[in-house]
Amino acid sequence: MLTVLDEQLQQVLDSYTLKGMDETCSIFNLSSETVNRYLREAKERGINGVSVSKSIREIIANYSEEELSAIAKGGRIVPGYAKVPVVSFEGKRIRIGHITDTHIGSLYFDDSRLHQAFEEFKRGGRFHYSLR
């Protein structure tokens, strides 16, 4: 193999990590075999790239920058669907009490346990509930 500078290996490694094999081959005008050789050489020299899993590389390769930005913000990218609200949990502390599957109406339902949970919620601060 021809001598390749560490800087060149780093560029190819970073491109492969973030953009995948096809785009890296196109950018650097290299075959996939050469890119794989560069990746092995980088590993042997201890050159590390950005740590991105194969799944993340595939996501990056399949979406535009705008779509990735929407996904990162918790939005939807499918036209016609309502946007997903982005909730900020910064600031004051939030406590949530949640009860499911109470079996109200069952022979074995223990209403004292339900009221015990309500009292615990009240001790935590503001208390709102809804039975559905």
Look at residues 13, 21, 16, 2 and name the one whose alpha carbon lies nearest to residue 46.
13
Q: Which two tokens stand for residue 47?
A: 């050159």
What is the C-alpha to C-alpha distance for residues 58 and 18, in angstroms, rounded to an integer? 9
DSSP label of 29:
T
Q: What are phi and psi of 116, to 5 degrees?
A: -65, -40
Higher per-residue pLDDT: 3 or 59: 59
Mention every residue, 6+ apart, whose C-beta is less than 8 A from residue 58.
20
pLDDT band at 32 (very low <50, low <70, confident <90, very high): very high
How much is the pLDDT for 128? 66
Decide: helix, strand or coil at residue 6: helix
What is the C-alpha to C-alpha distance for residues 102 and 26, in angstroms, rounded to an integer? 59
- The mean-pLDDT minimum among 7-16, 39-48, 51-60 falls in 51-60
The sign of the torsion formed by the CA atoms of 45, 47, 53, 55 equals: negative
User: pLDDT tens, 10-26?
Assistant: 898 888 888 888 989 99
Average pLDDT over residues 65-93: 71
Q: Where are the domains of the chain?
A: 6-52
